[in-house]
With several copies, the nearest count.
Chain A
């Protein structure tokens, strides 16, 4: 079936040029970058070229500061647990927000078993963290602040630079989970003042299951995997060269085409939001009206439940997400939506739309029409909906 994909957050096609680069590795370059012979040399060269491209994307001063990982989750776990264990003698207090991704939340929960304590700051109705609240939460034994760059469920972009300044002034390490931002909007690690930044390749049309962690030179951190001396001794294990080369290539294009991509997404997003009232009533648009990902819309559709919306749209050949794909299969109301003040029922009926380069204005029109039908028929079934 020909599917119109409005779920680029979780299922991004790989750019054709990136595909070709990956296929070349599959077919011709099976070398191991650690080997001392020429097969290895070629791989080592490709590995460092990919590192340079990814570095350039986030304006990393030295490319060695990038560690390749198996995705956003590994990066986040590595950053948080790695710093926590390395700095344990300095303190065991960590600051985060109420709307982080489960990779952050559950890593911190894990650390509680090792007697770490966590302060989680609240957000306003747009899902925005207040830097002053973070500053107020800093204690003598605070070793790490972890605040996401943009939220995967509601798209809100946080004041990372302001928090970075506070972290620097108060000499606390600062990690940002930028999985949904890197390659999508400009992210500059130097400007933001982060010590650690997690990201993944699929949000910018690279392969899934590949990511990176920026670790500022000099940051005390333990590796996640112990073993060989790969990745400058920061991540043991034979490299996923196919994925890494793909990520490097995707990073080049993301840097080159970012403005164009943002303009295209914005145009579709604005069209959708402008025309939506003609099709639907009783919905809430989530997230900050301006400080938000340009390719991202989150809508809570009152009286109906999200998974059933996704399934019904899918029957019509349209792919959207309930919230984050990573949480599908977990049956709770979203902690993010509850944090911005939603009722339990509204938090269940949320749909996340993420636009991509191949989406057209016609796609959006078809989507609006189908969405209307879907919502009407599901509301008909719903005991909560009173006409």
Chain B
């Protein structure tokens, strides 16, 4: 199911843990969706000198977190901002289609952490860390596109990923 690189990062995840007195923290997801991730950054001279993560999620989510931290480490803030979900998925040699959303998680957490850093620099109040609370979507029924396995909303007439017409139950 998973590529060798995914399995390698899953089995031996890099940069696991927290950073005390981190310069920035980014947290996304919640256990309702099946996954949750926290990124800790140490930043010196606009460069990420240390990065750690904690993840509650499937094998893909853990591998994505690990790979993302490897990719971000040592980069400047401006460089790190350019890391996309696609980059992470590619570095992992691909993810199964129904796991692509796990890679969104990774890059999103990094961007939230960077925003936290910039907010602090700008003297803005730090955003409250996202709480793991019940959220609408996870309770309602999720549909899957029969053609490409992407999740699709209840009422959508076309799958956003593959553009196929959908018949809802």
Contact = CB atoms under 8 A, between A and B. Distances in A.
Report if A and B associate in a common complex.
Answer: yes
Interface of A: 36, 40-41, 44, 64, 86, 106, 109-110, 112-113, 217-218, 220-223, 226, 229, 232-234, 303-305, 307-308, 311-312, 315, 329-333, 343-345, 348, 380-384
A304 B62 CA distance: 11
A344 B134 contact: yes
Contact of B32 (A110, A305, A333): A333
Nearest to B143: A233
A331 B142 contact: yes
B85 interface: no
Contacts of B132: 344-345, 384
A307 B11 contact: no
Contacts of B32: 333, 344
B3 interface: no
Contact of A109 (B37, B38, B57, B169): B169
Given A315-B11, A344-B32, A345-B56, 11 more contacts: A229-B149, A233-B145, A305-B34, A305-B58, A331-B98, A331-B142, A380-B16, A381-B53, A381-B54, A382-B56, A384-B132
A305 B34 CA distance: 8
Contacts of B151: 331
A110 B101 CA distance: 27
Q: Which of B2, B31, B169 has the most CB of A within 10 A?
A: B31
Q: Is the interface of B mostly helix, strand, loop or mixed?
A: mixed
Given A332-B34, A344-B31, A345-B132, A381 B55 contact: yes
A233 B146 contact: yes
Given A332-B138, A344-B138, A381-B62, A232 B56 contact: no
Interface residues of B, number: 41
Contacts of A330: 144
A221 B54 CA distance: 42
Contacts of A303: 56
Nearest to B58: A307
A188 B59 CA distance: 40
A173 to B, nearest CB: 12
B54 A383 contact: yes
A333 B35 contact: no
Interface in B22-65: 27, 31-32, 34-38, 53-59, 61-62
A384 B36 contact: yes
A106 B10 CA distance: 33
B34 A234 contact: no
27 contacts: A106-B169, A109-B169, A226-B169, A229-B149, A305-B35, A305-B57, A305-B58, A307-B58, A307-B59, A311-B10, A312-B11, A315-B11, A329-B98, A332-B34, A344-B31, A344-B134, A344-B138, A380-B17, A381-B13, A381-B16, A381-B53, A382-B54, A383-B36, A383-B38, A383-B54, A383-B55, A384-B132
A329 B169 CA distance: 19
A331 B34 contact: yes
Interface of B: 1-2, 7, 10-11, 13, 16-17, 27, 31-32, 34-38, 53-59, 61-62, 98, 101, 132, 134, 138, 142, 144-147, 149, 151, 164-165, 167, 169
Given A110-B169, A344-B134, A348-B34, A383 B142 contact: no
Contacts of A380: 16-17
A41 B36 contact: no
Q: Which of B2, B32, B56, B146 has the most CB of A within 10 A?
A: B56
A377 to B, nearest CB: 9
Given A106-B169, A332-B142, A381-B16, A232 B59 contact: no
Q: Which of A41, A220, A303 has the most CB of B within 10 A?
A: A220
A220 B167 contact: yes
A6 to B, nearest CB: 19
A62 to B, nearest CB: 10
A232 B147 contact: yes
Contacts of A331: 34, 58, 98, 101, 142, 151
The 6 closest A-B pairs by CB, nearest first: A345-B31, A383-B54, A307-B58, A233-B146, A311-B59, A383-B38
Nearest to B145: A233
Nearest to B65: A381
A229 B144 contact: yes
A308 B59 contact: yes
B1 A44 contact: yes
Nearest to A348: B34
Nearest to A113: B169
A315 B164 CA distance: 38
A208 B148 CA distance: 26
Contacts of A232: 146-147, 149
